Amino acid sequence: MLLSVIIPVYNEAGTIRDILEKVVAAPYEKELLVVDDASDDGTRGILREMEGKDGIRLLVQDRRRGKGAALRRALPKTRGDWVIFQDADLEYPPRNYSVLLEPLLEHGADAVYGSRFLGSHRVFLFWHYAANRFLTLVTNVLFDTNLTDMETGAKAFRGDVIRTLRLRAEAFDIEPEVTARLFQRGYRVFEVPILYRGRGYCEGKKVGWRDGVAALWRLLYCRLTRP
């Protein structure tokens, strides 16, 4: 079993070395595809140092394009039976991998979402929480499902499933787009509790209210178009 881990990165010099070391230490045969989204804080230099070690492959964007563009750049290059999206900060520790992979290996899942609201998590940022719950509710209404955390950054997929989705989102709206297309195609999506260590904006969090508006638009667009 080969696990492909995709890590989109933008200005994470303070955490990128630590997260890569933790992903490398995860006890799976794996490849790591790191996409640097035109970082300008020293992140790229760190990535150049680590490139080629422990299965780390580096892809570099010529300009900042967004999380969605980074994931879409890496997906066709994955070879794994399973694919995991991993953020470059420390909010989602790689110790979650075993929980995410179990439904894929044992229960016939096509995709697995790690819910921050079912598992242990740092308790703060009410408005961020409220926006996430609202977007999840809209997802459930539009696609007749019962997710608790659509916007989670911890997602795992069968490789042959995620590589066939027609994705177009450039930014954080990749999360609702992936979700919508999975449900539209009738794939089996499971949800599991995970450990989540949220960070505040002063600590480097990058998602804002504009991303929430873009996510809502993307959900509505997907509902009205073919997968």
Helix axes 209-223, 174-184, angle to 10 degrees: 20
Task: Please name which of 189, 180, 182 lies closest in space to residue 216, comparing C-alpha atoms.
Answer: 180
| pLDDT, tens digit (0-9, with 9 covering 90-100), for 7-18 | 999 999 989 999
Check whether 104 has a pLDDT greater than 80. yes
Residues in Cβ contact with 218 at an 8 Å cutoff, skipping those fewer than 6 apart: 169, 173, 176, 177, 180
| Spatial separation of the C-alpha atoms in residues 216 and 213, rounded to whole Å | 5
* Residue 199 pLDDT exceeds 60: no
Tens-place pLDDT, residues 84-96: 999 998 888 999 9
Q: What's the rounded mean pLDDT across residues 14-23? A: 94
Name the nearest CA neighbour of 111 among 83, 153, 143, 74.
83
Q: What is the mean pLDDT of the chain?
A: 91
Q: What is the pTM of this model?
A: 0.90
Average pLDDT over residues 47-71: 94
Residue 123 pLDDT exceeds 60? no
The domains of the chain are located at 3-223
Query: Which of 122 and 212 is assigned the larger pLDDT?
Result: 212
pLDDT at 129: 77
Per-residue pLDDT band at 118 (split at 50, 70, 90): confident
Instruction: Answer yes or no: is pLDDT of 110 > 80.
Output: yes
The order of strands in the sheet holding 111-115 is 56-60, 30-36, 3-9, 82-85, 155-158, 111-115, 189-193
**Mean of the pLDDT values across residues 17-34?**
95
Which pLDDT band, with edges at 50, 70 and 90, does 198 fall under? low
- What pLDDT is attached to residue 227? 84
Radius of gyration of the chain (CA): 16
Q: Residue 219 above 80 pLDDT?
A: yes
pLDDT band at 204; cut points 50, 70, 90: very low
Output the pLDDT for position 41.
Answer: 92
CATH topology of domain 3-223: Spore Coat Polysaccharide Biosynthesis Protein SpsA; Chain A (3.90.550)
Q: How far apart are CA 130 and CA 11, in angstroms?
A: 26
Give the pLDDT band (50/70/90) at residue 191.
very high
7 - beta bridge partners? 34
123 contacts: CB under 8 Å, gap ≥ 6: none
Mean pLDDT value of segment 9-37: 95
For residue 101 the two structure tokens come to 């992979």
